[in-house]
Amino acid sequence: MSQTPLIVGNWKMHKTIQETEEFCLGLKKEIDGIRSGQVEVAVAPPFTALAAAARLLKNSSISVSAQDVFWAESGAYTGEVSPKMLRDVGCRYAIIGHSERRQFFHETDDSVNKKAAALITEKLIPIFCLGETLAERREGITFTVVERQTRQGLKGLAITDPQDLVIAYEPVWAIGTGQTATPQQAQEIPAFIRKLLQEHFSPEMSRGLRILYGGSVKPENIAELMAMDDVDGALVGGASLNVKSFSAIVRGAGPKEK
């Protein structure tokens, strides 16, 4: 099956509206058109810059993602943003369960699951992040942790099109540390996740669902990561903040045959 790789830039808490506009114009110049149909690209600015990004990227091949969402439709939830609001501002994707949200903001497998369901209902695509910490890897419980995160995160989720969900495997020890997983490590866990997806959905769905790798992805290592069978793209933090390095990563990811 032919799979269009997906490269997502997770800006985290970076960039003002003006910086977002400059970045989007620069990125469009670098990659719009050239990569369309070969690599799908999305950027995830902070909430305050989503509208600016969506306006500038409208009618381009680049999508907009939020970095988080709350599961309720509306209500007394001070500080939160609903899937409907993300759709309204022009998002196609929303990242959920990022390790920084799990670590600093008490995100749990259960809240990730509720967010995924709410996004799917609103026809937005969850980018569901999971991955083990260094302590968990050293303890030898990587597979147990990843299995728990996958099963609980996907509980009750019903999707029929593999395009409706994206999984991002991000070993926490590789995020922002410059220490990328080896291509073998980046393959081993996504292959395991794909087996779990097969049980949860179906063999066909599991083959079609995109699994991204995240954690210190750079222009220098994108090609070897993308060469792994079960890596269908990348979630990029630090290197996505600069147009040159992000577009070099996009160019380094090619269409994949499965």
Residues known to be catalytic = 98, 170
Residue with the two structure tokens 């699951």: 113
Judged by CB under 6 A, the residue of 117, 235, 243, 253 near ligand PGA is 235
Q: How far apart are the first and last CA of the chain?
A: 5
Q: Which is nearer to ligand PGA, 219 or 254 (CB)?
A: 219
> Cα 202 to the chain's mean position, in Å?
22
Count CB neighbours of 144 within 10 A.
Answer: 12
Q: What share of the chain is helix, strand, coil (3-state, %, to 5)?
A: 45, 15, 40
Within 85-124, the residues that bind ligand PGA by CB under 6 A are: none
Q: How far is the CB of 258 from ligand PGA (least distance, A)?
A: 24
Answer yes or no whether residue 236 interacts with ligand PGA by CB under 6 A. Answer: yes
Closest CA to 168 of 126, 119, 113: 126
Judged by CB under 6 A, the residue of 113, 238, 247, 256 near ligand PGA is 238
Q: How far is the CB of 188 from ligand PGA (least distance, A)?
A: 19
Within 120-179, the residues that bind ligand PGA by CB under 6 A are: 170, 175-176
Q: Which is nearer to ligand PGA, 176 or 203 (CB)?
A: 176
Q: At what angle do helices 183-200 and 142-154 cross, to 10 degrees?
A: 40
Burial class (CB within 10 angstroms; exposed 0-12, middle 13-18, buried 19+) of 14: middle
Within 211-230, the residues that bind ligand PGA by CB under 6 A are: 214-217
Q: How far is the CB of 95 from ligand PGA (least distance, A)?
A: 8
Tell me the pairing of strands 125-130 and 6-10: unpaired
Q: Please choose, out of 16-24, 60-68, 110-118, 237-245, the segment that lies near ligand PGA by the rule CB under 6 A.
A: 237-245
Within 175-214, the residues that bind ligand PGA by CB under 6 A are: 175-176, 214
Q: How far is the CB of 241 from ligand PGA (least distance, A)?
A: 9
Q: How far apart are CA 58 and CA 211, in angstroms?
A: 26
DSSP state of 72: S
Q: Please choose, out of 17-25, 60-68, 198-206, 236-244, the segment that lies near ligand PGA by the rule CB under 6 A.
A: 236-244
Q: How far is the CB of 187 from ligand PGA (least distance, A)?
A: 18
> How many of the chain's residues bind ligand PGA (CB under 6 A)?
13
Q: How far apart are CA 147 and CA 256, in angstroms?
A: 26
What residues make contact with ligand PGA under the rule CB under 6 A? 10, 170, 175-176, 214-217, 235-239
